[in-house]
Structure 1
Amino acid sequence: MDRSLVARMREYLNAGLAMDVEALDVLYDPGFENIRVDEAGQVAILTKEQFMTRFRTLRDQGQRVGEDIDDVRFLATSEHGDQGTVVMHRVQHGVPIRYGFVWRREDGRWTTLLREFTFEKDISPLLRIMKSAETGTA
């Protein structure tokens, strides 16, 4: 287990808990994508811009993305060239969620988050929100 990669993940998770939008903006690579998949095989792809808009909206409304990261378990890390992967598990609202995060390494340190692969039970609500945003309906 690469402890420096796990430490970088903890920085990222804590920035999210603190709703530190400026730190998150630096942590997400300009080409960041979150690929979400559910048990039915539905897929949603979110960009950095979509993530940052959501974080800003939540922060401006005084909301947070979570209370703590006590349930987070880091299952594995791997390195491949100038990238590193972290496999993470957590339980949200009683439902287990699995993640794969891909980080960029530059000059020996983990710099930006390139990809987040999220495996959830059902992303139908997210797909409805995305469709509404595309069509401009509520």
Structure 2
Amino acid sequence: MDETLTARMRAYLAAGTAMDLAALEALYDEEFENVRTDEAGQVAVLTKAHFMARFRALAEQGRSVGEGGTEDVRFLSAARHGDQGTVVMYRCEDGVPARYVFVWRWSDGRWSTLVREFTFERDVTPLLRMLAAASRGGGGGAG
């Protein structure tokens, strides 16, 4: 288990919980994509712009993500592969298990930015509806 990678993940999770928009902006790579899939095989793809819009909207409302904290997070694997690293993470949110794979970029001797997140959930239908409404100009966010 690469402890420098899990430390970077903990910093990322803390930035989200604290709604530290500047830190989140710096942590997400410009090429960031979150690929979410569900038990039915549906797929939703979110970008850095989607995530940052959602964080800004929540911050304006005085709300945050991860209000339940990150005590339930378990890192199952963390390893470096050349100039990238992967972290496999498990957590149970509101009684629903979720699995994640995060891909980090290694540059200048450190874990710099989050490039990809692969999320496995029960159902992404509500997210797909929200993305469709947003693309039609109906607003909405992601995250």
TM surpasses 0.5: yes
Q: How many residue pairs end up in the alignment?
A: 138
Dislocated runs of 4+, deviation >6 Å? none
Mind listing any 5+ residue stretches in structure 2 that lack a counterpart? none
Mind listing any 5+ residue stretches in structure 1 that lack a counterpart? none
SS at 2:40's partner residue?
coil
Deviates more, 1:4-13 or 1:105-114: 105-114
SS at 1:55's partner residue?
helix
> Match of 1:12?
12
RMSD value, Cα: 0.9
> Match of 1:93?
94
CA deviation map 1:112-132 (0-9, x unaligned)? 000000000001000000011
> Match of 1:35?
35
Give the share of equivalent positions with the same residue, in percent.
63
SS at 1:58's partner residue?
helix
CA deviation map 1:45-82 (0-9, x unaligned)? 00101110000000111111122100000000122110
> Match of 1:127?
128
TM-score (norm. length: structure 1)? 0.97
Q: Supply the distance in 2 between the matched residues of 1:51 and 1:108 (Cα, whole angstroms).
A: 27
Q: Supply the distance in 2 between the matched residues of 1:112 and 1:132 (Cα, whole angstroms).
A: 29
2:17 and 2:65 in contact (8 A); partners too: yes
